[in-house]
Amino acid sequence: MATLRLFASIREIAGTSEITFEAGTVEELISEAIKNFGKDFASLVPNCRIWVNGNPANMEDAVTSADEVALLPPVSGGSLEPYPDQTHSDYFHKKDLHVAILSMHTSPLIQPGQGDSGGMNVYIREVAAALAHRGVQCTIYVRRWEASLPDEVHLEPGVDIVHIHAGQFDLMKEELPNILEEFTDKVAADINSRKSVDIIHANYWLSGIVGHRLKHKLNIPLVTTFHTLGEAKNETGDHESIERIVSEQKIIGCSEMIIANSLIEKMQLHSLYNAPNERVRVNPLGVEHAFFSPGNQKAARSALRLPSGPILMYVGRLQSLKGVEVAIKSLKEFENQEMTLLIVGGASGPQGESHKENLRALIEKLPSNKKVIFIPPQPHYILSTYYRAADIVLVPSRSESFGLVALESAACGTPVVAASVGGLKDLIDDGVTGILVNGWDPIDYKNAINQLLMNPLKSTEIAMNAAEKAKKYSWGQTAENLLSIYASILSEALVDCR
């Protein structure tokens, strides 16, 4: 007899969370439940997600007495900030839009998860593509980091990357403030040689300085997305320079609009920088559902040749800000249980390699029944398989403006245990679409992990809720929101610096 587990409103209708029936397929099992619970139950079934043993399933899938079928109604709540003004389509029919996207310190051509490449690289690549699909010309300006790079790369129709030669090729990010003027002048010269640019969209504070200067040189409106805020990092003990804080304040004072990746970031912009609320819009990141979607965990593990037993995973750059050492220390707290931690990512920043060595020193102290496997950064079409293979993804960051890893994991139907910081508090509904942990005590993470590993039913419910909520996020929606923002500022006079 196969087991049917019921959740939320359909559980309330049935008056039970679990029942068994004789059935050979999912459809037969649900048909028996409908006969048992009546028309109100039947009316809700078509809207439910169906999983078998923690994986998405179809009505025709076979079931046995060893299988558990879960029915979960749609998740309510989690709505994103509305964008009621859709007049941008009429505006842009009259005028082709050209956006100069500034990403001085890192390129969307670089594999995320290594060096200074992370969620921002994904954001720029995906947003530019989504805008181009809507008829917008996007020119991305990046500092040339290798002599062999061409002057320009035609990424796809409507998206070009221009490599600006400013300073020595091997400069560290910390040295880039010294060549901002040269970079600005060369970007200005390139813009003047092209079709008229309508919007400058700067990403990160270094590009924000460039965008601020270009606004005054070229009289073009400025939109800024910071991705991380210096003052927010200061609050976590990761101290940033006075130069960065002062520069961010000036950029905020002169930008026509600041894009916050989450409501928490908008609140930080106001409380830490006194940013005017009317010039800050929340526009969450998206996820590419063609890659990141639920799948078969056993098949994913087999394809990746992963060991048996519980698998935890960390995805991201290896730097103290991301808290990967917390993931390793939490593994140590499981004394007698075999367990594997996958660390998918590469060293980042001037202390990157030394940080990686410190991580290896922690790993050497783990008992023999704990494995830690370092995996280099992966392209999205492979990374999604790793997400599906994991039991739990850990995001113990000390600061996050959004938390793209948590969204990608959710879209793949893998539960997330994350630090209760920044945009993660917006993205994750604690206990519903993931588990949030206050602080970075490995014991607290161990308890959260154990809560899911010891309760497969709860883990499945959270995974299903998270996958459903993730459907609300797409790069297409992010681009549509940006178009509304662009249209609103193009119809107004430039903001005076304050």
Nearest-angstrom CA–CA distance, 471 and 410: 9
Q: Is residue 227 part of a domain?
A: yes
- Please tell me whether residues 443 and 347 are part of one structural domain: yes
Which residue, among 227, 238, 186, has the nearest Cα to 205 in the 3D structure?
227
- Please tell me whether residues 350 and 218 are part of one structural domain: no
Which residue, among 32, 9, 56, has the nearest Cα to 460 in the 3D structure?
56
pLDDT digits (tens, 9 = 90+) for 188-231: 999 999 888 999 999 999 999 999 999 999 999 999 999 999 99
pLDDT digits (tens, 9 = 90+) for 42-62: 888 887 878 887 677 888 889
Given this model, what pLDDT does residue 349 score? 65
- Please tell me whether residues 418 and 437 are part of one structural domain: yes
pLDDT digits (tens, 9 = 90+) for 96-147: 899 999 999 988 888 766 666 678 999 999 999 999 999 999 999 999 999 9
Q: Is residue 462 part of a domain?
A: yes
Q: What is the mean pLDDT of residues 234-263?
A: 93
pLDDT digits (tens, 9 = 90+) for 363-406: 999 988 999 999 999 988 899 999 999 999 999 999 998 999 99
Nearest-angstrom CA–CA distance, 223 and 215: 10
The answer, yes or no, to whether residue 318 has pLDDT greater than 60, is yes
What letter represents residue 230's amino acid? G
Given this model, what pLDDT does residue 195 score? 82
Rounded to two decimals, what is the model's pTM?
Answer: 0.84
Q: What is the mean pLDDT of residues 305-326?
A: 92
Task: Let me know the angle formed at the C-alpha of 90 by 88 and 94, rounded to the nearest 5 degrees.
Answer: 110
Decide: 37 and 14 in contact? Cβ < 8 Å.
yes
> Number of folded domains in the chain?
3
In 10 A of CB 15, how many CB atoms? 10
The answer, yes or no, to whether residue 415 has pLDDT greater than 80, is yes
- Please tell me whether residues 266 and 411 are part of one structural domain: no
DSSP state of 380: H
Nearest-angstrom CA–CA distance, 383 and 393: 12
Decide: 392 and 428 in contact? Cβ < 8 Å.
no
- Those residues whose C-beta lies under 8 Å from the C-beta of residue 250, and which sit 6 or more positions away, are 209, 212, 497
Decide: 318 and 356 in contact? Cβ < 8 Å.
yes
Q: Is residue 468 part of a domain?
A: yes
Rg for the chain (alpha carbons), in Å?
24
- Those residues whose C-beta lies under 8 Å from the C-beta of residue 233, and which sit 6 or more positions away, are 239, 240, 321, 398, 399
Greatest pairwise CA separation for the chain in angstroms: 75
Given this model, what pLDDT does residue 114 score? 61
Q: Is residue 77 part of a domain?
A: no
| Domain-terminating residue out of 48, 72, 96 | 72
Given this model, what pLDDT does residue 78 score? 40
Beta-carbon-side half-sphere exposure of residue 312 (alpha carbons within 13 Å): 30
Strand 2-6 and strand 18-21: pairing? antiparallel
- Please tell me whether residues 343 and 243 are part of one structural domain: no
- Please tell me whether residues 233 and 345 are part of one structural domain: no
Q: Is residue 246 part of a domain?
A: yes
CATH value at residue 409: 3.40.50.2000
For the ranges 234-243, 272-281, 355-364, the one whose mean pLDDT is highest: 272-281
Question: Among 6-20, 160-174, 461-475, whose mean pLDDT is lowest?
Answer: 6-20
The answer, yes or no, to whether residue 72 has pLDDT greater than 80, is no
Residue 345: φ, ψ to 5°: 160, 175
Q: What is the mean pLDDT of residues 341-358?
A: 82
- Please tell me whether residues 237 and 266 are part of one structural domain: yes
Given this model, what pLDDT does residue 237 score? 75
Nearest-angstrom CA–CA distance, 378 and 401: 22
- Please tell me whether residues 336 and 436 are part of one structural domain: yes
The answer, yes or no, to whether residue 311 has pLDDT greater than 70, is yes
Nearest-angstrom CA–CA distance, 229 and 205: 8
| Domain-terminating residue out of 12, 37, 72 | 72
- Please tell me whether residues 94 and 224 are part of one structural domain: yes
Q: Which structural domain range is residue 64 located in?
A: 2-72
Nearest-angstrom CA–CA distance, 439 and 132: 41
- Please tell me whether residues 56 and 131 are part of one structural domain: no
Given this model, what pLDDT does residue 420 score? 96
Tokens read off for 444: 């607290």
- Please tell me whether residues 342 and 413 are part of one structural domain: yes
> Mean pLDDT, the chain, as a whole number?
90
Q: Is residue 82 part of a domain?
A: no
The answer, yes or no, to whether residue 465 has pLDDT greater than 60, is yes
Which residue, among 221, 233, 308, 307, has the nearest Cα to 265 in the 3D structure?
233
- Please tell me whether residues 386 and 251 are part of one structural domain: no
DSSP state of 179: G
Tokens read off for 209: 């300085």
Q: What is the mean pLDDT of residues 159-171?
A: 94
Q: Is residue 81 part of a domain?
A: no
Q: How confident is the model at residue 462 (pLDDT cuts 50, 70, 90)?
A: very high
Decide: 409 and 393 in contact? Cβ < 8 Å.
yes
Task: Let me know the angle formed at the C-alpha of 74 by 70 and 77, rounded to the nearest 5 degrees.
Answer: 135
CATH value at residue 12: 3.10.20.30
Given this model, what pLDDT does residue 71 score? 84
Q: What is the mean pLDDT of residues 348-352?
A: 67
Output b/e per residue, 34-71; b: 16+ Cβ within 10 A.
Answer: eeebeeebeebbeebbbbbbbbbbeeeeebeeebbbbb
Tokens read off for 469: 């909520």
Question: What does each C-alpha distance from 408 to 120, 386, 393, 403 come to in angstroms?
Answer: 14, 11, 10, 9
Given this model, what pLDDT does residue 238 score? 77
Q: Measured in Å, how far apart are the chain's first and last C-alpha atoms? A: 71
Tokens read off for 455: 């309760």
| Domain-terminating residue out of 39, 72, 105 | 72
Q: Is residue 78 part of a domain?
A: no
